[in-house]
Chains A and B, each alone.
Chain A
Amino acid sequence: AQSVTQPDIHITVSEGASLELRCNYSYGATPYLFWYVQSPGQGLQLLLKYFSGDTLVQGIKGFEAEFKRSQSSFNLRKPSVHWSDAAEYFCAVGTGGGNKLTFGTGTQLKVEL
């Protein structure tokens, strides 16, 4: 069965600093990978996705992620964090053509001004 691990429960960064959120997955076939952001009391917004092709994926709000098959990782990065980026971030793997999403436990990002 597929699984997703986000090893960092909480991360605090200063505004303007770079950010990397880690995500490792376990899945036997080619994964469909997603990063979502959830603000308090809100649903999930898709930041970016990887299905195939270029392993460096660009998303919204200046985020990017890199798929590394050898490391089973799909880490999310942003070169300069803004205070409005404070939220919870979820990595997910989709199976069955993305039909079924398995989420990681999330990383809570706090941004210090």
Chain B
Amino acid sequence: GAVVSQHPSRVICKSGTSVKIECRSLDFQATTMFWYRQFPKQSLMLMATSNEGSKATYEQGVEKDKFLINHASLTLSTLTVTSAHPEDSSFYICSARAGTGLIYEQYFGPGTRLTVT
């Protein structure tokens, strides 16, 4: 149980274009989903938190107009990188929270490798 998928696993796009990454919770309903960015040989940095049906909360320094997050259902969140530039190349990982208790776990997707040329 508690499987999170991401699509695509790898994507290459040209500078100036937009790319959408999907994050799905396959066997549970995710009240909250998180988007992380991981640079090579570095840790995960939280980009934003999204709750189903409401606007995402972005971490300081993350451009909300560049990284559009939509959490339209309890099983799907999308991250759209708009007007991508080479510096946006990174490994993007989503996670999903199940339940509404005070203490819970996050289940992580396998990640999406974005390369902007």
Contact = CB atoms under 8 A, between A and B. Distances in A.
Q: Which of B9, B95, B106 has the most CB of A within 10 A?
A: B106
A103 B44 contact: yes
A101 B43 contact: no
Contact of A98 (B46, B105, B109): B105
A43 B110 contact: yes
A97 B104 contact: yes
| Of listed A44, A98, A99, residue having the most chain B CB within 10 A | A44
Q: What is the predominant secondary structure among interface residues of chain B facing chain A?
A: strand
Interface residues of B, number: 25
A106 B104 contact: no
Contacts of B111: 41-43
A105 B104 CA distance: 22
Interface string B85-117: 000000001010100011111111111010000
A44 B93 contact: yes
A32 interface: yes
B33 interface: no
B4 interface: yes
Contacts of A32: 103
A11 interface: no
Interface of A: 32, 36, 41-46, 49, 51, 90, 97-106
Interface of B: 4, 6, 9, 32, 34, 42-44, 46, 49, 93, 95, 97, 101-111, 113
